[in-house]
Amino acid sequence: MLLINTYVYVRTLEDGEDVIVSKNISAVLSQHPLGLVFDIDGTLSPIAPTPDKAYLYPGAAQYLEQASRFAHVGIITGRAVTDGARIVNVEGLTYVGTHGLEWCQGLPSTHDIALIPEAVPYTKPGQELLDLAEKELVPQIPGLIVQRKSIGGTLHYRLAPDPEQARATILATLKEPAARLHMHIDEGKRVVEILAPLTINKGKALRRFVEHFALQGVIFAGDDRTDLHGILEIARLRQDGYAAHGIAVQHPDTPAALLEHADTVVQGVEAMVQLLQQMTIDISEQKA
Ligand SMILES: O=P(O)(O)OC[C@H]1O[C@H](O[C@H]2O[C@H](CO)[C@@H](O)[C@H](O)[C@H]2O)[C@H](O)[C@@H](O)[C@@H]1O
């Protein structure tokens, strides 16, 4: 995919055909109040071999800070809110963690974290499943990383010698106990997610963010399966009269549905950060 012009991209469809995507982000950027909402991993941070090795792409923190002077900037991540905020580490943003379950109106070091009350009953069942994963799966799968969150957690099998076999073993081992404990199992990039069985997701979190700040315009960017909820919510917000624009960050493993429903597709984290820089320049010029 080539950047032809500011905000005009070539989208490569599944059949290999290139189409020009030129929906106008500028029209959204001119709205007030405006929101800019980003996923972290694969969007502002290159996918790393382990969760702890992930870092924000150079320049991204500076652009987020600059953008936050003119817009409400949100981070909506599948990571725990403290973990997501550790990576981004910009004061003045809204941090939403664990796929929408945890909220913090600033860095958790200086602001309280609010856990969605409906999620609380799933704290213990989530811990039980993760205990089981540590006991039964860690000894079987070399390289498996168990990442605990306030509710549920994530099993990372990227470093397993046979990732597909590891995935199958994890899913088979967790199926029955997850059903018994009423927990939901989902998947992401080389991860199995242990989630509360709630309808809260990145789309619901995005809608809540829009309503909380009474936004007129909003842009959401993401790259993974869970970000599809955010991209689809963008379309619903548009139907409801908001100016809204969804950006998919394309990698070889980005889900096809995300590319299909996004308004703009950018090639990788570097292109996303370039677009963030351009958006930051636009809003600072418009709103200064
Ligand atoms: O939906 P997301 O907000 O993207 O959260 C999904 C998971 O993202 C992170 O894992 C991913 O990034 C890691 C670091 O680059 C990579 O090692 C892993 O393979 C990816 O799946 C995060 O660590 C998880 O907690 C999130 O659940």
Q: Tell me if 3 is assigned to some domain.
A: no
Nearest protein CA to atom 4 of ligand 1, as residue: 41
CATH number at residue 88: 3.40.50.1000
In degrees, rounded to 5, the angle at the alpha carbon of residue 188 between the alpha carbons of residues 94 and 199 is 60
Domain final residue, candidates 195, 210, 230: 195
Provide the domain limits for residue 153: 119-195
Nearest protein CA to atom 26 of ligand 1, as residue: 78
pTM greater than 0.90 (yes/no) = yes
Low pLDDT (below 70) residues in the chain: 1-23, 287-288
CATH number at residue 184: 3.30.70.1020
For position 1, what pLDDT does the model report? 38
For position 25, what pLDDT does the model report? 87
For position 3, what pLDDT does the model report? 42
Could you tell me which of 201, 254, 255 has the C-alpha nearest to residue 230?
Answer: 201
Helix, strand or coil for residue 34?
A: strand
- State how far the Cα of 224 lies from the Cα of 256, in Å rounded to an integer: 10
Q: Are residues 270 and 219 in the same domain?
A: yes
Total structural domains within the chain = 2
Q: Are residues 63 and 99 in the same domain?
A: yes
Q: Are residues 102 and 208 in the same domain?
A: yes
For position 33, what pLDDT does the model report? 97
Token pair belonging to 262: 């996004």
Q: Are residues 34 and 159 in the same domain?
A: no
Q: Are residues 78 and 212 in the same domain?
A: yes
Question: What's the 156 CA to ligand 1 centre distance in angstroms?
Answer: 8
- Ligand 1 contacts CB of residue 72 (under 6 A): no
Nearest protein CA to atom 20 of ligand 1, as residue: 189
- Ligand 1 contacts CB of residue 202 (under 6 A): no
